[in-house]
Chains A and B, each alone.
Chain A
């Protein structure tokens, strides 16, 4: 499945399928991007990051793709598991000050058995 939008959409994925979460960022000067996972009542948990000099980076079961031309970021989760159910946020390093992150609206991922 695929989720597009910035108003906390919900992505329902069957266990074992691949998930794709999309994010559009705003600042063309942003040079560092991070994907976070947030479970209910908890702080954000780092998943994977990518710098603007790259267009793809892979981690364990996750891949981040960066398209600077259209200012688009995506997170792919392979073989989605029930433990992947959470809200996923992309964040960009704001161009005006290193260290300040601007978060996207988030996507709720629900993994069904």
Chain B
């Protein structure tokens, strides 16, 4: 059974730092992986989707990587800003198109 883990559960860094959020999964037979952002009181916003055949995807200051063999994905945020403060969730989509979610990492960027 696929399990998705995000560590740490919370992270606080000063503004301007580059940072990495981690997502690990137990079964490498995935269809794709998607990173989301959730602001308090809001729904989820899709950030990046990585197909299983891809190694990384970039959007602005965000870069997501995927290493299926090790069961890991990372979300790299460059030059962090207070507006990046949110909870970041990753979800693995398996071969049956079912989403398996991590519990998220709550990120706080200190001005």
Q: Do A and B come from one complex?
A: no
Residues of A within 8 A of B (CB): none
